[in-house]
Amino acid sequence: MLLSQNASAMRPLNVYLVAYISLVFGALQAFPEDFCIFRMTLRNFRVILSWELENHSIVPTHYTLWYTIMSRPEDMKVVKDCTEVTGSFCDLTDVWESMPETYVPRVVAFRGNTTLVSCTSRESIFPAIKMSLEPPNFEIVGFTDHIKVIVKFPPVIPKILRGEGLHVYLSLVIEEVSGGIIKKHKPKINAKTITGNFTYVIDNLIPNTNHCVSVYFEPSDPGKIIESPTKCTLLKPGQESESSESAKIGGLITMFLIVVVFISTIVILQHTGYICLRNEFPKVLNFYNFSAWVFAELPPLEAVALLEVIHVKRKKKVWDYNYDDESDSDNEAAPQKNAGGYTMHGLTGRPLCPASGSSATMEDCCDPDAEEADLPTPEAECESLMAPGSGPWQPECTSEADEGRGTRLEDHFSEEDGSSVEGSGDRIIFNVDLNSVLVRVLDDNSEVPPELSLPEDSTELQDPSEMETNLLVASGGGTQPSFPMECLWPEDSPSETSDTSESDADIRDGYITR
């Protein structure tokens, strides 16, 4: 019963509602159409649609806003919060939420209960392009050399501004003006950072100067920029800048002192020899000499000759050298290089140079075979008396064989050492007691075995000139015995030997007896 009564009451109500909507909708079609100028604005992050009748003669008292979209065939929708509003604007923040959508608004103007006009937009509203972006509220705080800009954003961003790609359609610009120079700062904003207050710092500013700041949104259509009012501030001068200058000066002085101390320390260490030691090595220690690398064998540090002094207390002694021609040839051909630990090369001072105080036979000196063990120097002979480096020089008294030997000797030297001791200035000095020694020059062609003859009285037999000539002068490394006596043998060699009859033979054999 009750339900039936209610149902009966609802029926006329529904009828009245339908009739009203039909009348309104019909009015939209029936009433004169006019055009309104619609403006969509983002004001304080609120989507505001405002309108203005083109026909200013019509002065309505209130308005009702309708809209539809272009992407789907939908009917006009009334905005509930914008029904019979007295103002010519409407907050559509929660109504128009899609940026890519195209909206078609319509406003019905009333005067009292009379519908005056239904106006539409000449253009569809595409918010991404048509929405004007009013500048946000902001504050600035000036410091000495920087300004802090605080842009006020709402805690909740309108839905139409959410989503990616927002920065394309509206980009935030902070403009700083000082001394007629305009600088634009474009901090990137997105949906995450656009909530709450946004702080931006403009640094590297000149102290004690006036700076003005304005903040606005830059839409994709540059022609619709709405600039904000400029706010200016005078940066703090003086104390902080002076302190900074004094700090800079102090820093510079400190750095200067540090550099001075460092340099003085370096100089002191250098002078005391802790660093930067001299590297001027003596030539003998200069291993970086290229010629030394090329010629791998280093010159001998000293001329060393091992002498075996045979002190024989008999007049005559037949010294069996115990070598034959073959051994001679072999030895000559291949003398030992290192015998007794001595190097072969460089020591041209063949044991023609007896040591001081010791008796040595020239024969020993001359005979490489006998003295090979002790005198590992290359085979020595009259021809070997000449320096290896003296090369082609041949004593006049030598035979062809000797010359050959000399040649071989040279070759031997070159083979062995790879270096030739040149320089006639190098000599080996030995003190030779000529009273007790005999020197002998080897002669291959001589069939007579070499004999060692010792003078009984060396003083009597000694010829001073011979003594001088017999002396072997050695000096330093490199040996270049000077044996000018070689050429004197045939003529100048003394005949005052014990075997005078053999003097000639001796001479031929190369003996020098006293």
Partner 1 sequence: MINKHFFEIMLVLLATSTVFSLELKMVLFQQRRVNRESVKLLNKLPTSSMQQCLLHRKDFLLPQKSVNPHQYQKEHTLAILHEILQQIFNLFRANTSLDVWEENHMEKFLTELHQQLEYLEVLMGLQAEQKSGTLDSENLRLQVKMYFRRIHDYLENQEYSSCAWTIVQVEINRCLFFVFRLTGKLSKQEMDP
- By CB under 8 A, which span of 126-134, 230-238, 390-398, 489-497 interacts with partner 1? 126-134
Beta bridge partners of 133: 42, 225
Number of residues that bind partner 1 (CB under 8 A): 26
Q: In angstroms, give the least distance from the CB of 207 to partner 1.
A: 36
Binding test (CB under 8 A) with partner 1, winner from 220, 246, 424, 465? 220
User: Which of 82, 109, 119, 128 forms a contact with partner 1 (CB under 8 A)?
Assistant: 128
What would the two tokens of residue 442 be?
């080897």
Which of 11, 77, 111, 122: binder of partner 1 (CB under 8 A)? 122
* DSSP label of 233: E
Instruction: Tell me which of 24, 28, 78, 104 binds partner 1, using CB under 8 A.
Output: 104
- Asked if 221 is part of the footprint of partner 1 (rule: CB under 8 A), the reply reads yes
Judged by CB under 8 A, which stretch of 4-12, 80-88, 94-102, 358-366 contacts partner 1? Answer: 94-102
Which member of 126, 143, 200, 295 binds partner 1 (CB under 8 A)? 126
Please list the alpha-helical segments (H only) found in 101-238. 127-130, 166-169
Backbone angles phi, psi at 255, to 5 degrees: -60, -40
Per the listing, tokens 């590992």 go with: 376
- Interatomic CA distance for residues 267 and 393, integer angstroms: 57
Which residue, among 135, 60, 45, has the nearest Cα to 92 in the 3D structure?
Answer: 45
The nearer residue to partner 1, 106 or 211, going by C-beta atoms, is: 106
Kindly tell me which of 121 and 361 has the beta carbon lying closer to partner 1: 121
CA 408 → CA 334, 346, 412, 499, 510, distances in Å? Answer: 10, 15, 6, 32, 19
Residue 484 φ/ψ, nearest 5 degrees: -65, -15
Helix axes 325-333, 400-416, angle to 10 degrees: 40
**How many angstroms separate the CA atoms of 259 and 251, rounded?**
12
Please give the residues from 146 up to 175 whose contact with partner 1 meets the rule CB under 8 A: 163-165, 167-168
Binding mask 74-93 for partner 1 (x = CB under 8 A): x-------------------
Q: Which is nearer to partner 1, 208 or 220 (CB)?
A: 220
5 burial (CB, 10 Å; 0-12 / 13-18 / 19+) is exposed
At 246, give phi and psi (nearest 5°): -65, -35
- Which one of residues 56, 72, 192, 314 is an interface residue with partner 1 (CB under 8 A)? 72
Stretch that binds partner 1, among 17-25, 57-65, 101-109, 361-369 (CB under 8 A): 101-109
> Which of 121, 453, 480, 498 is in the footprint of partner 1 by CB under 8 A?
121
Which of 41, 102, 336, 407 is the binder for partner 1 (CB under 8 A)?
102
d(CA 231, CA 139): 8
CB proximity list for 158: less than 8 A, separation 6 or greater: 42, 45, 46, 47, 93, 97
Given 15, 19, 70, 257, the residue binding partner 1 (CB under 8 A)? 70
**Residue from 101, 297, 463, 502 binding partner 1 (CB under 8 A):** 101
Pair of tokens at residue 490? 């045939």
Rounded Cα distance, 120 and 90, in Å:
15
Q: Which residues pair with 65 in a beta bridge?
A: 107
Q: Which is nearer to partner 1, 73 or 464 (CB)?
A: 73
Q: Does 237 bind partner 1 (CB under 8 A)?
A: no
Please, which residue, 83 or 102, has the CB nearer to partner 1?
102
Residue 97, interface with partner 1 (CB under 8 A)? no
Task: Please give the residue ranges that form the binding site for partner 1 (CB under 8 A).
Answer: 68, 70-74, 99-102, 104, 120-124, 126, 128-129, 163-165, 167-168, 220-221
